[in-house]
Amino acid sequence: MTILVIADFLEGKDGKTLAAATLNTVAAAAKIGGEINVLVAGQGIGAVAEAAAQIAGVAKVLVADNAAYAHQLPENVAPLVAELGKGYSHILAAATSNGKNILPRVAAQLDVDQISEIISVESADTFTRPIYAGNAIATVQSTAPVKVITVRATGFDPVAAQGGSAAVEAVAAVHDAGTSSFVGEELAKSDRPELTAAKIVVSGGRGMQNGDNFKYLYALADKLGAGVGASRAAVDAGFVANDMQVGQTGKIVAPQLYIAVGISGAIQHLAGMKDSKVIVAINKDEEAPIFQVADYGLVADLFEAVPELEAAV
Amino acid sequence: MKVLACIKRVVDYNVKVRVKADNSGVDLANVKMSMNPFCEIAVEEAVRLKEKGVATEIVVVSIGPTTAQEQLRTALALGADRAILVESAEDLTSLAVAKLLKAVVDKEQPQLVILGKQAIDSDNNQTGQMLAALTGYGQGTFASKVIVAGDKVAVTREVDGGAQTVSLRLPAIITTDLRLNEPRYASLPNIMKAKKKPLEVLTPDALGISTASTNKTLKVEAPAARSAGIKVKSVAELVEKLKNEAKVL
């Protein structure tokens, strides 16, 4: 068995960097067993390819550096992955916005069903994944010649980013469908740890009342070295940007400590955070559903409790 | 231009589902069913395109059981012109649904196909992308803004780091994110009118599509239960517990 892992990368102020979720995806590949190859497709991705070659357990890194693959447009990247992927037993990608965008297109081109957001590997052909917003766990078996799978990063502990010494090989194939083009992007800037990788996450909901009040959470988060998340209510009300949303339709997090402030705890929000190790809820409504999953609940006015908590830690 | 909006009948988003005792699946007997929330947004966007004079006809399609006609009627009440149901009692995979939709696209030749980004039951987030692959069209997934201009559509997408805008040549596939729009409610007169709008019923066999799958669900289980913990009385007690009991600070 040989497994192809599609590397995801982020474009930030330091240029393109390997996305942390790639390390969790390699961990899932290691559980399946077999040789692991990593594909890095994009433009100007030398640093990402170098980082990929150092991931522990990776045997080979394939680099497709071409203008056609810039911004990972799925119309161009998917045919490349489908072409390369034919010789592999599994194709894996992290269930990030890039992975979710590209991989189903690959699966359809290979005429196989995809398995989305696996949280465990039972065997080389059997996996588990959450359905119904995490309220049920399905065990799914694939008989496809090439198994196409996205991996929920929080389900797997990342492999070491260092210690590997994979061979790097250039891929010459160029696919340019000509059906799409990149226009622009607007990335939210933050110095706080990335939400999906943070050890501590502080999240605010409708109870924050306005965007300005999120400053209380930012202050607490900065003291804890935490990422800041939000419920859909807070995002829809315009308090914060949508890339901070935690839940079924937002990001899935599983930090060591999740502090939910002014969040009632709807099914859709719980889907994104209920695998956190320790959950703390601060809410003035003691009937709020969030208290049914919280390890520690504090019934209090958040505008008093949060500054007090910040002072105490 | 013609717009095809695809919808799915799913368990209502407010329902707390229960896993069947024999672990064969989720118990859907006597559970409230509705249109998938992301599909409502797809229909709303199609209707808005028609109101702007961009779309001339909205065809709404669903792949599912006979009862999915209810959701198609809802879409007709919201402003779709006619409906197509591809009837299948089986639980189809996203690839099978995408193949059936491809057959409908071939038949109807829409300029724009709008789907939800994911169904809240299977949580797959695959069908739109697969349909785009099968048709060879460009895809604008997780759309929060759609602007049609000439033979192109500009789609602003919600991505992990923020927002990204791509331009797609028509015909194209779009999948909706929650923030694309706020779906309207159907008025009673429109619900009555919708009963008279045409609804065509097809079958996978009639479309010549095999729905065979390479995936098999072996079992469905309830997730490990997380029980309620304790209530603390003060911030000081909370910090003490986090430091000494949970050891996460």
A80 and A139 share a domain?
Answer: yes
CATH number, domain with residue A161: 3.40.50.620
CA distances from B230 to A269, A280, A286, A299 (A): 21, 10, 12, 11
Question: Is A176 a domain residue?
Answer: no
If contacts are CB pairs under 8 Å, which of residues 155-214 in chain A contact chain B?
177-188, 196, 200
Task: Identify whether A291 is part of a domain.
Answer: yes
Q: Are A182 and A69 spatial neighbours (Cβ–Cβ below 8 Å)?
A: no
Residue A231 shares a structural domain with residue A161:
no
In this model, does residue A37 exceed pLDDT 70? yes
For the segment B121-169, what is each residue's pLDDT rounded down to a tens digit? Answer: 999 999 999 999 999 999 999 999 999 999 999 999 999 989 999 999 9
Q: What is the mean pLDDT of residues B39-49?
A: 98
* Residue of chain B minimizing CA distance to A111: B95
- Select the residue of A108, A277, A297 nearest B98 (Cβ to Cβ): A108
Average pLDDT, chain B: 96
Pick from B137, B230, B248: CB nearest A257: B248
C-alpha–C-alpha distance, residues A311 and A308, integer Å: 5
Alpha-carbon span B144 to B177, nearest angstrom: 6
- What is the span of the domain harbouring residue A42? 2-170
In contact, A50 and A16? CB cutoff 8 Å: no
- pLDDT band of B225, cuts 50, 70, 90: confident
Question: Is A110 in the same domain as A248?
Answer: no
Q: What percent of chain B has pLDDT over 90?
A: 93
* A204 and A161 both lie in a single domain: no
The 10 Å Cβ neighbour count of residue B247 is 10
Residue A159 sits in the same domain as residue A297: no
Residue A68 confidence (pLDDT):
96
Choose from A179, A231, A256, A308 for mutation: most chain B CBs within 10 A.
Answer: A179
Of A112, A113, A135, the CB nearest to B223: A135
Interface test with B, best of A72, A97, A113 (most B CBs within 10 A): A113
In chain A, residues with a C-beta closer than 8 Å to the C-beta of B242 are: 257, 278, 280, 296
pLDDT of residue B247: 85
Chain A: closest CA distance from residue B142 (Å): 9
* Contact at CB, A243 and B158, closer than 8 angstroms: yes
Which residue among A74, A126, A200 sits closest to B139, beta carbon to beta carbon? Answer: A74
Statement to judge: residues A129 and A208 lie in one domain: no
Mean pLDDT value across residues A17-28: 96
The token duo for A313 is 């830690």
Q: Kindly state whether residues A118 and A216 are assigned to the same domain.
A: no
Q: Are A204 and A305 in contact (CB under 8 A)?
A: no
Number of domains, chain A: 2
- pLDDT of A206 > 70? The answer is yes
Q: What is the pLDDT of residue A13?
A: 67
Interface test with B, best of A73, A114, A267 (most B CBs within 10 A): A114
Do B56 and B35 form a contact (C-beta atoms < 8 A)?
A: no
Q: How far is B216 from chain A (nearest CA, A)?
A: 5
Distance from CA of B183 to the nearest CA of A (A): 14
Would you say residue B43 has pLDDT above 90? yes
- Looking at the structure, do residues A6 and A149 belong to the same domain, yes or no? yes
Length of chain A: 313
Whole-number pLDDT of residue B161: 85
Indicate whether A189 belongs to any domain. no
Nearest to A108 among B130, B236, B241 (CB): B130
Report the amino acid identity of residue A77.
V
What is the phi-psi region of residue A134: left when phi exceeds 0, alpha when psi lies from -120 to 50, beta otherwise?
Answer: left
Same domain, A139 and A36: yes
In a domain, A71, yes or no: yes
Q: Is A98's CB within 8 Å of B154's CB?
A: no
Please check whether residue A113 lies inside any domain of the structure.
yes
Residue A243 and residue B159: Cβ atoms within 8 Å? yes
- Indicate whether A41 belongs to any domain: yes
Q: Residue A219's CB: how many other CB atoms inside 10 A?
A: 15
Q: Do residues A91 and A144 lie in contact, with contact meaning Cβ atoms separated by under 8 Å? A: no
Distance CA(A6)–CA(A61), nearest Å, equals 10
Instruction: Choose the final residue of a domain: A125, A153, A170.
Output: A170
Confidence band, pLDDT 50/70/90 cuts, at residue B226: confident
CATH of the domain at A268: 3.40.50.1220
* Structure-token pair, residue A65: 């550096």
Together in a domain, A102 and A145: yes
DSSP-based helix, strand, coil % in chain B, nearest 5: 30, 30, 35
pLDDT at B135: 98
Same domain, A108 and A150: yes
| Predicted ipTM of the assembly | 0.95
> Do A111 and A223 share a structural domain?
no
Q: Of all residues in chain A, what percent carry a pLDDT higher than 70?
A: 100
| Closest CB to B219 among A139, A268, A309 | A139
B93/A116 Cα distance (integer angstroms)? 12
Q: Please check whether residue A153 lies inside any domain of the structure.
A: yes
Whether A118 maps to a domain, the answer reads: yes
The continuous run of DSSP H or E covering B189 comes out as helix B188-194
* A19: closest CA of chain B, how far (Å): 11
The answer to whether residues B172 and B131 touch, using CB atoms and an 8 Å cutoff, is no
Average pLDDT over residues A96-123: 98
pLDDT band at A181 (very low <50, low <70, confident <90, very high): very high
Residue whose pair of structure tokens reads 């039951």 in the numeric block: B121
- Does A71 contact B at CB distance below 8 Å? yes
- Mutation to test the B interface, candidates A6, A132, A185, A245, most B Cβ within 10 Å: A132
Spatial CA neighbour of B238 closest among A203, A208, A257 = A257
Q: How confident is the model at residue B181 (pLDDT cuts 50, 70, 90)?
A: very high
